[in-house]
Amino acid sequence: MLVLYFVLGAASVTVMWRGRASPPGMLRLQVNAWWYIFPVFSVAWALYPWGPSVLVVLIAALAWRELALHHPTAPRRFQWACAVLLALQLAVMGAELPGAIALMPALMLVQFIWFWHQPSPARLLCLLFLLLCAGLGFVLQLEQLPLDMAQRRAWFFYLFTVTALNDVAQFICGKCLGHHKIAKTLSPNKTWAGLLGGVVVSALVSLALGSHLQLASGPFLLALGAALSLAGFFGDLMFSAAKRALGLKDFSNLIPGHGGILDRADSLVLTAPVLYAVLHLTLH
């Protein structure tokens, strides 16, 4: 954990040194906001095994509040619907029912088909919440893997650390080195330099952290870190596309310099399923 804060401190120092690469204070504000985010994760990790569940509920609750701000007709009813969906998922997973992991993805698929045939902002907001719940559900599913508690706790720490530092690395490399845009219409800030920097940093962080925690072999950790980096990138891109469709820059102003909780949890929506799928396949 101390190493994680050391890396964040190094990133903050780098941004202060390269402050000219962004509008005055903005890049520094965006990186320093992680000093508010990391302690929340640290508490969740310290309170394991209950911490991850509390963290998932907190993210989901903040997310449905953000999405309700943009609901065109019935924000209060939308919030109640989100609360019911989240409670249903937690109840089914808590009971460890067979096929529980497929509940939210199945509902998400139905909602996607409905939205595809009859697009509307309200249906898109519902789809985003289902997508978030489906992704976060795999964080909880890490508890069902055939591992002891210490190993599951280590993988939980690994997931959030690699996901967070990938975001930081992509952001800093993109701002300081990036010029060539990847998807200018969907996310103007995404650059090839940012993507490449995130992949390299994530692979190295994965190798160092995974080796320290004795999670897997070196080549496996390098490949997994790169895969999680790409997953985080596409998760961010999906939510950026949704924001463009809704005419939004950020989902809210909850986190200074970053936007809302969905602007930070969007990477986790895909990194958690990818990690679970890889571990599920390799452990069975």
User: Quick one: average pLDDT of 105-128?
Assistant: 95
Instruction: Write down the H helix ranges in the chain.
Output: 2-17, 26-32, 34-46, 51-68, 75-94, 103-117, 121-141, 149-177, 192-212, 218-246, 262-265, 268-283
Task: Spell out the domain ranges in the chain.
Answer: 2-19+26-283
pLDDT, tens digit, 9 for 90 and up, residues 229-257: 999 999 999 999 999 999 998 899 888 77
- For residues 184 and 240, the answer to whether their CB atoms sit within 8 Å is no
Please tell me which residue, 117 or 173, carries the higher pLDDT value.
117
Q: Among candidates 96, 93, 206, which has minimal Cα distance to 157? A: 206
pLDDT for residue 135 is more than 80: yes
194-198, 213-217, 256-260: which has the minimum mean pLDDT? 256-260
Q: Residue 260 burial by CB count (10 A; 0-12/13-18/19+): exposed, middle or buried?
A: buried
CA within 13 Å, CB half, 225: 31
How many Å apart are CA 226 and CA 237, to the nearest integer?
Answer: 17
- For residues 229 and 204, the answer to whether their CB atoms sit within 8 Å is no
What does the angle CA 210 – CA 55 – CA 103 come to, to the nearest 5 degrees?
90
pLDDT for residue 28 is more than 90: no
Task: Work out the pLDDT band at 91, boundaries 50, 70, 90.
Answer: confident
Task: Work out the pLDDT band at 169, boundaries 50, 70, 90.
Answer: confident
Q: Among candidates 141, 197, 191, 187, which has minimal Cα distance to 11? A: 197
Please tell me which residue, 167 or 9, carries the higher pLDDT value.
167
pLDDT for residue 23 is more than 80: no
Cα Rg of the chain (Å, integer): 18
Structure tokens at 156: 């939980």
What is the per-residue pLDDT for 77? Answer: 94
User: Quick one: average pLDDT of 51-70?
Assistant: 94
Phi and psi dihedrals of 259, rounded to 5?
Answer: 110, -130
Average pLDDT for the chain: 88
How many Å apart are CA 161 and CA 275, to the nearest integer?
Answer: 13
How many Å apart are CA 74 and CA 94, to the nearest integer?
Answer: 30
pLDDT for residue 263 is more than 60: yes
What are the distances in angstroms from CA 100 to CA 44, 125, 263?
A: 23, 23, 27
* Model pTM score: 0.89
SS3 187: strand
